[in-house]
Amino acid sequence: MGTVEDYPQMITPTGHVEPVPRRVRAVLDGAVVLDTTRALYVWEWPNYPQYYIPLADVRPEALAHVTTEPSCERLAGTARFDWAAFDAWYEEDEEVFVHPRNPYARVDALRSETPFFS
């Protein structure tokens, strides 16, 4: 039987923060409640990140409990939402299921109607 040392370690440490290079949206009852190109990935645990969304990109009625004292300065003015609080999450125009994709575990080409160049 193998030990933990026999398996590759995660390359992203817990607490790591970096920008999401894609548009992120969430839908509730048919309405878009958050839409941003400024989301952050935050690794709260090693296997995959969470989205932290700028409060300015969230419809105010979707906000419930917001932490005003973030654990790190880069998270000031952002909120993390429970994944199940919304009916659907999207990266660009592709629905994302269960949790945000780990950008280091696989590379996905996603459809998008957002123009890259203007």
> Once rounded to an integer, what is the mean pLDDT over residues 65-84?
80
Separation between Cα atoms, residue 89 and residue 68, nearest integer Å: 24
Predicted TM-score (pTM) of this structure: 0.77
**What are 94's two structure tokens?**
């592709």
> Where do the structural domains in the chain lie, given as residue ranges?
23-96
In this prediction, what percent of the chain has a pLDDT beyond 90?
Answer: 43
Is the pLDDT reported for residue 67 higher than 70?
A: no
Is the pLDDT reported for residue 104 higher than 80?
A: no
> Once rounded to an integer, what is the mean pLDDT over residues 15-22?
92
> Once rounded to an integer, what is the mean pLDDT over residues 54-69?
81
Strands 78-79 and 17-19 come out as unpaired
Separation between Cα atoms, residue 58 and residue 89, nearest integer Å: 13
Residue 1 has a CB neighbour count (10 Å cut-off) of: 3
